Structure 1
Amino acid sequence: MSGHAADRVVAMLEAVAGAPSPVQVRAWDGSQAGPRSAPLLIMNNRRAIRRLVRRPGELGIARAFVAGDLDLGGDLVETLTRLAEAGRRIGRRPQLTVGRRWTLLRQALLLGALGPMPPVPAEEVVLSGRKHSPARDRAAISHHYDVGNEFYRLLLGPTLVYSCAYWRRPDDPGYGLDDAQRDKLDLVCRKLGLRPGMRLLDVGGGWGSLALHAARTYDARVVMITLSGAQVETARRRVAEAGLQGRVEVRLQDWRDVDEAPFDAIASVGMAEHVGQEVFADYAAQLYRQLRPGGRLLNHQIARGPGPTPTERTFIDAYVFPDGDLLPLATVVDALERAGFEVRDVQGLREHYTRTLRSWVGNLEAGWDDCVRLTSIGRARVWHLYLALSVLGFESGLLRIHQTLAVRPYDDGRSGIDPVRENWLSG
């Protein structure tokens, strides 16, 4: 074993894996070691080792990446994909034998990796107060969305739609993200059966794109709510610029505080992930109460596969969506039905989201310098890692996304929905 830092890092990785290193390593002293064909792990300083030793696992890696102590060579999505494949080949981490423990400790000592824990990056959030109380939910939403409307415009493009697009013409080279997002907005409105004069509640309506489309294209009367002050500011400006003040009302309001005459339709697009498993049943019941009999709900929501709820804090919770939860589809449908809804249609959009996320990654990388200027280098690195991991999650099937159409039945049990699917939905 040479004294080069990369050789020592590789020895540590092999001690933990109990197998040849799945990566090649470039260290801060310029040395490089490991299989040349493997994904490249770039250790920019000793702090990266300290973070991984002191906090092994996902959160330690995330802190090192966000802080700039650790980088991945090449295309980030491709490198993460290859790392995931290498991890699957190794399988479950074996028990450390005495010999491997000694190797790990010795190399860590020689690398100076056992010093004090480096500071946690400023982009990591720890919320206080009762989980999913209105005040804590406002803080969670502010952490994610109140980072600058211009940043989101660069990331999302001019449609300002922050949810899975609907790629109706995926093979058309002239058809891009903006077209797919407009088609998604129209798909939602068609599923809801919007007609002139109908009242739509848009829960967690973001920067107002769905509300604007529903009012402009279907002549609906829309109440849009969000907990993000930055989103309210932009949505109200867009409504005024479109001359739709009489048809779209934008509110800074919690979903629990909506209490008025029933709506004809409700859209919950990319909102339910923020609600939380603990109160999701309450959310479903509240939406049911806000609908008239025969009214439709379109719930557009990311889901995880079935299984136990993760218990360890994740990168997503610490840096991206604090207090958010991804629920299995069965849990969502069960909550809606228990609230009184009849579920009429479920459409999986997983492949559509993979393409959407790749478009956002491209926008972020193309506008990198501006994104850093508008936020911070740490925030831009958070988003780069988050979007790349999301691509990997949806491509692998670990993450799914569904549009679930439900109706509040009439008292006599009628749904009011045409039983011939093609009559109310195309595409």
Structure 2
Amino acid sequence: MAENFIPMTVAEMVEAVTEAPIPFRITAFDGSATGPEDAEYSLEVTSLEGLSYIATAPGDLGLARAYISGGLKAHGEHPGHPYELFDSLRDLYDCVRRPEAAEMVDLVRSLRHLGALRIQPIPDVEQTSWWRKRLVQGLTRHSKERDKESVSAHYDISNEFYELFLGDSMTYTCAYYPSPEATLEEAQENKYRLIFEKLRLKSGDTLLDVGCGWGGMVRYAARRGVKAIGVTLSQEQYEWGRDKIAAEGLQDLAEVRCMDYRDVAESGFDGISAIGILEHIGVDNYSLYFGSLHEKLKPGGRMLNHCITYPDNNPRKAGAFIDRYIFPDGELSGSGTVQKHMQDAGFEVLHAENLRFDYQRTLHQWCVNLKQNWEAAVQLAGEPTARLWGLYMAGSEWGFEHNVVQLHQVLGVKLLEDGSRGDLPERMWWSV
């Protein structure tokens, strides 16, 4: 006669794969609970679907699916800025252990008994147009068509949604804080000032801004007499930037285009700014990227590349969660890799600096803005999308603080035929 099988509770499942004490109080839809009762934060597995997401995609992706869909809720933190959870999540990962063979058998049987091993539908927010098109048509990675779908998947939510947390600057890249007390808008303006000065631009010069976003750098340069062209693959960004240029009366000097940087016909630019585009290029394409931009500069022209980097030079994706939900096809490497490819393309690298703490502050302020505008964000984009952005930005803030990722600006010059730098000074000419 077969023994009577008593399925494990959700709490017992957690205990089977962790070493006590865990940093959370965990409760579940079946009424079970585990973890310290006085824990600062608690996690609630609210549904069988949430448990299924966690069981069928262990790790970041499963936890994210459960959290975004509401199958996993965190108590003690606002979903617009769940920053403090990440210290506890790191501690939770440290508590994970491999169950003994008998425990594993009981765990799998219990999950199967509950129906938690049944694959759940992918959350709608993950089913981007890019992901469907990739599956259906099999687009080549980093082809022009797939890059456009990838960028659209992230940026074409709605301009109104981004305005809620980016603020008046509508700039979705690391700001540069003149002081820790500066506002986000002051810091973003200061970032454009820094890049403008590093590129040593002046009235009458020409600038190409690749990956221009909503056109902040283009308008900054145009207001100072520089003829500036910006390109983006996002239709929403293009339309917003075009209208903003018209509203400020900058049409004679500023232009944004919805096009791939590889299709820009003009050349002979005095400066090129690339602010937050390299993350989308793919390390295997760095040579073509820097080579094509080197060709578009006049001799003596300068390029500044501003991008997220790793603390090491081992190129890799940022993980399943980021690839599925945030930056499809995104890939990072270290600042050394960036500088190597710039040098190989013909640039003399003049200066590099790490602004990771500035990005930490930037992300913190974006999260504060999202938290303050939470109801409007949910109304505009839906709660899953709002929860997704809160989770992503808070996790990124934590990552920059703890040196998981960095932010580097690298400045290079296209030398003249005789190997000189033209009229560039020998020493740093910009204000910090």
Q: Is the TM value for this pair above 0.5?
A: yes
User: Are 1:137 and 2:138 matched, yes or no?
Assistant: no
Offset at residue 259 of structure 1 (A): 2.4
Alpha-carbon deviations, 1:366-422, whole Å to 9, x = none?
A: 11111122112221111111101101111110100011111111111112321122x
- Alignment partner, residue 185 of structure 2: 178
Q: Counterparts of 1:202-221 in structure 2 under 5 Å?
A: 202-216=209-223, 218-221=224-227
Kept in 2: contact 1:14–1:20 (CA 8 A): no
Alpha-carbon deviations, 1:230-281, whole Å to 9, x = none?
A: 1111111111111110001111110111122310000000111111122121
Kept in 1: contact 2:354–2:409 (CA 8 A): yes
Amino acid at match of 2:331: D
Alpha-carbon separation, structure 1, partners of 2:362 and 2:351: 23
Kept in 1: contact 2:282–2:330 (CA 8 A): yes
Alpha-carbon separation, structure 1, partners of 2:161 and 2:209: 23
Gaps of 5+ in 2: 1-6
Offset at residue 94 of structure 1 (A): 3.9
Gaps of 5+ in 1: none
- Alignment partner, residue 99 of structure 1: 102
- Alignment partner, residue 197 of structure 1: 204
Alpha-carbon separation, structure 2, partners of 1:86 and 1:294: 53
- Alignment partner, residue 18 of structure 2: 17
- Alignment partner, residue 27 of structure 2: 26
Alpha-carbon separation, structure 2, partners of 1:310 and 1:405: 23
Change (3 A) 1:288 1:310: closer
Alpha-carbon deviations, 1:93-144, whole Å to 9, x = none?
A: 544321331342354356x143522110111142341000000011011111
Amino acid at match of 2:52: R
RMSD: 1.9
Kept in 2: contact 1:22–1:87 (CA 8 A): no
Identity %: 38
- Alignment partner, residue 268 of structure 2: 262
- Selected match of 1:381 from 371, 380, 387: 387
Kept in 2: contact 1:12–1:103 (CA 8 A): no
User: Are 1:240 and 2:246 matched, yes or no?
Assistant: yes
- Selected match of 2:56 from 26, 41, 54: 54
Change (3 A) 1:312 1:105: farther
- The 4+ residue runs of structure 1 with deviation greater than 4 A are 307-313
- Normalised to the residue count of structure 1, the TM-score between the two structures is 0.92
Partner of 2:89, secondary structure, is helix
- Selected match of 1:419 from 422, 426, 430: 426
Kept in 2: contact 1:11–1:103 (CA 8 A): no
- Selected match of 1:300 from 306, 312, 316: 306
- Alignment partner, residue 74 of structure 1: 76
- Alignment partner, residue 326 of structure 1: 332
- Alignment partner, residue 4 of structure 2: none
- Selected match of 1:229 from 214, 225, 235: 235
Alpha-carbon separation, structure 1, partners of 2:16 and 2:302: 56
Partner of 1:164, secondary structure, is coil
- Selected match of 2:160 from 128, 144, 150: 150
- Normalised to the residue count of structure 2, the TM-score between the two structures is 0.91
Kept in 2: contact 1:53–1:113 (CA 8 A): no
Offset at residue 19 of structure 1 (A): 4.4
Offset at residue 326 of structure 1 (A): 1.3
- Alignment partner, residue 370 of structure 2: 364
Give the aligned length.
Answer: 412
